[in-house]
Structure 1
Amino acid sequence: MNQDFFYKNLFFGGFYGVVFFLIYLFGRKAAPKLAIWLPVACWAGLMLIMLTLSGTNSFALLIPVMIILLFVFRKRIDEQFQPFFQENRIYKSNHIPESVLKLLGERNWSCAQGTLTLQTGESLNYYWWQGWTTSTVHTGKSTVTSSNHYLAVSFGPSDVTEEFKKLAKAAMDTSHFTFKQRFKRFFVLDTDTPYLATEAADGSFVIAWNTHQDIEHYTKRLHWLKQNVTFTPQRALWTTRYSN
């Protein structure tokens, strides 16, 4: 009996630990301190319920607790992104370029309009795309679900120069990578190398990356654009304003 009790505690404690560690990874950048103590407190609470009541009662509370924690951290992430979007003048778009959306594929894309202020002080309008997918892997009796996030930018037909298009397309090339870079890329998500750089059917130029959904990676992409993008004199100047 004692042995069964020990193994039950070990199983539930380990399983809850993995679940709450994944929640910690989800919320650590938006709320570092909260992402530590809140999952730990929930883990301790569920273990206490299991010890005093039963494993069934404890397990039944796991899903509601997970939903609440994910909601809390999701709200913190949204609050963190709002100043970033305002500072960089990225707002929800009333118009979605269908040819670009078709090129990007089915990845639950949301579309916004942005304005880049270049080093010369001039402005360039563009579309900002955020996408995501989920994948599920079944291993025996367990199921693991992971999320993938994507970032893309698109420029209107004739808005950017051929030199910039060639530069963006060249950035996709990994043939010059060293063994160390290839080894790292195998294990760590490459958020710097575009997986797409091409023209859409309507002539729009599109660049897309794998990314992590955080301000650090979004800021790096904007910095790269500001450093490298060159526009044509014929670039379109939007007359309609953005909606929040």
Structure 2
Amino acid sequence: MNDLTIRISCLTVLYFLIFGSVFLFGEKWFPKRALSLTLCGFIVSIAISFYSGALGGITAFVLAFIFIFFLRRPNGTRAMRQFYADHAIYASTIVPQAALDVLGDKKWRYAEGSLQVNSNEKTKYLFWRGYTSSMVSTGQYTRSTTFTHYLAFIFLPGTANEAFKQRAIAAADKSGYSFRERIRFFFRLDMDKPCLVKTAADGSFIIQYYTEPYAEQYSKQLAWIKENYSGSHFTSNHFISAN
């Protein structure tokens, strides 16, 4: 094994550690961007190292710092304000006791929005953000607080049709998990599927997710609600018209 091969092998390991760390830093908020940037940075650094190992190393560190800047977490307050404005979600005083009985005390923040049913009709829904906390021992003498965040969509009585309810129930079904998914979600909460779908005593229909308190995650979960709510009404109306 010649000196060039040894040098490139060592630099490859170094670049893998550098850009692997950058990817882990950014994939929580920008998974696609983090992957593409770190792969490009890794390839560019390796290519430059064939001509100059020192230049390749400097390039890798410079790119890593630049990528970390671009992949840093967006300002949470500003992003949430924009999210609320984009989706016309406002503070709400509507707090159905039956929904609270189902969801429990999670220090909820109450808001409401509306979904477009057709060109002339909108339906109001409640948008609740909440969390629970617990103490976890991290050593013989130390403890830390962990938080679990939730997002609940509540449809008041008569506003969720049967087709939408069945879609939500099917989405929450975890019986089809593969072995790999079961292992994955044993260590990490599943934020793609609802963790609770239930009709309250007053007829309110509730869909609750595990979530993260970031606008990007709320947008994904709200997108599913909007798509399936409007889709269920289109399907029902189409069926009625056909008959």
TM range (shorter): 0.5 to 0.7
Q: What is residue 221 of structure 1 aligned with on the other side?
A: 221
Q: Which residue type is aligned with residue 226 of structure 2?
A: K
Give the superposition deviation at 1:90.
0.5
Q: How far apart, CA to CA, are the structure 2 residues paired with 1:88 and 1:118?
A: 15
Q: How far apart, CA to CA, are the structure 2 residues paired with 1:223 and 1:207?
A: 13
Give the superposition deviation at 1:117.
3.0
Q: How far apart, CA to CA, are the structure 2 residues paired with 1:211 and 1:120?
A: 31
CA RMSD of aligned residues (A): 2.6
Q: What is residue 156 of structure 1 aligned with on the other side?
A: 156
Q: How far apart, CA to CA, are the structure 2 residues paired with 1:212 and 1:119?
A: 31
Q: What is residue 81 of structure 1 aligned with on the other side?
A: 80
Q: Which has the higher contact order (CA 8 A, sep 6+)?
A: 1
Moved more, 221-230 or 120-129: 120-129
Relative distance call for 1:120 and 1:177 in structure 2 (3 A) is farther
Q: What is residue 137 of structure 1 aligned with on the other side?
A: 136
Q: How far apart, CA to CA, are the structure 1 residues paired with 2:145 and 2:200?
A: 32
Contact 2:117 2:123 in 1 (8 A): yes
Q: How far apart, CA to CA, are the structure 2 residues paired with 1:120 and 1:135?
A: 46
Q: What is residue 179 of structure 2 aligned with on the other side?
A: 179
Matched residues, number: 164
Give the superposition deviation at 1:185.
0.8
- Return 5+ residue gaps in structure 2 as ranges: 1-24, 30-73, 238-243
Q: How far apart, CA to CA, are the structure 2 residues paired with 1:184 and 1:120?
A: 42
TM-score by length of 2: 0.61
- Return 5+ residue gaps in structure 1 as ranges: 1-24, 30-74, 234-244
Q: How far apart, CA to CA, are the structure 2 residues paired with 1:122 and 1:78?
A: 31
Q: What is residue 92 of structure 1 aligned with on the other side?
A: 91
Q: What is residue 201 of structure 2 aligned with on the other side?
A: 201
Contact 1:127 1:154 in 2 (8 A): yes
Give the superposition deviation at 1:172.
1.7
Q: Which residue type is aligned with residue 154 of structure 2?
A: S
Runs of 4+ in structure 1 displaced over 6 angstroms? none
Contact 2:113 2:126 in 1 (8 A): yes
Larger radius of gyration: 2
Contact 1:113 1:127 in 2 (8 A): yes
Q: What is residue 170 of structure 1 aligned with on the other side?
A: 170
Relative distance call for 1:105 and 1:98 in structure 2 (3 A) is same
Give the superposition deviation at 1:123.
2.3
Equivalent position SS for 1:160: coil
Q: How far apart, CA to CA, are the structure 1 residues paired with 2:109 and 2:82?
A: 18
Give the superposition deviation at 1:120.
6.2
Please state which structure has a larger fraction of its residues in helix: 2
Contact 1:89 1:115 in 2 (8 A): yes
- The share of aligned pairs that are identical, in percent, is 36
Q: Which residue type is aligned with residue 129 of structure 2?
A: Q
Contact 2:76 2:215 in 1 (8 A): no
How do 1:1-244 and structure 2 match up within 5 A? 76-117=75-116, 122-138=121-137, 139-229=139-229, 230-231=232-233
TM-score by length of 1: 0.61
**CA deviations over 1:215-240 (Å, ceiling 9, x no partner):** 1111111110111113589xxxxxxx
Equivalent position SS for 2:203: coil
Q: How far apart, CA to CA, are the structure 1 residues paired with 2:185 and 2:192?
A: 10
Contact 1:112 1:128 in 2 (8 A): yes
Give the superposition deviation at 1:94.
2.1
